[in-house]
Amino acid sequence: MYLKQLTVFLENREGRLDSVTDILAKNDINIVCLTLADTSEYGVIRMIVSDPDKAKSVLKAEGCLARLTDVLAVEMEQKAGSLNKITKIFSDENINIEYMYTLNSAKEAGSMILKCSDIEKGFEAVKKAGFKLVDPNVAYAL
């Protein structure tokens, strides 16, 4: 029901991002989508990958700081007001959205990945509002 997001800590300097993508490539792990939050000194890279558990363990073995975080992936129509419908649910339920980014898909409808302050509550709220959540296995295989 929840999507496992892979999060990696990176110092903000040359070659660090390359070393992470290199490890994933060598282990045949596909990056479905990613978003990078950066500060002047370090960055936090958040990814949906084809095999999150394996990705975490291979990164760890190479000395990277990686963790898995549960996030929601809500299906969304490709039209005006779709995102607003989702954010409204969270707002009405007093759930804070920590960050969000899009899950790419070849299909017409996109999906929004959300990290919120209370994932269980968020999950229930989204379902109650009639939104569909992306099946994790489908997402990893994108």
Tell me the closest approach of the beta carbon of residue 5 to other proteins, in angstroms: 7
**Which of 7, 30, 50, 102 lies at the binding interface for other proteins (CB under 8 A)?**
7
Residue 120 lies near other proteins (rule: CB under 8 A): no
Q: Which is nearer to other proteins, 1 or 37 (CB)?
A: 37
3-state secondary structure of 51: coil
State which of positions 67-106 bind other proteins (CB under 8 A).
67, 69, 98-99
Instruction: Give me the long-range contacts of 33-40 (CB less than 8 A, separation at least 24).
Output: 33/101, 33/102, 33/103, 33/104, 33/113, 34/101, 35/99, 35/101, 37/99, 38/12, 39/12, 40/12
Binding site for other proteins (CB under 8 A): 5, 7, 9-11, 16, 37, 39, 41-42, 44, 46, 63-65, 67, 69, 98-99, 115
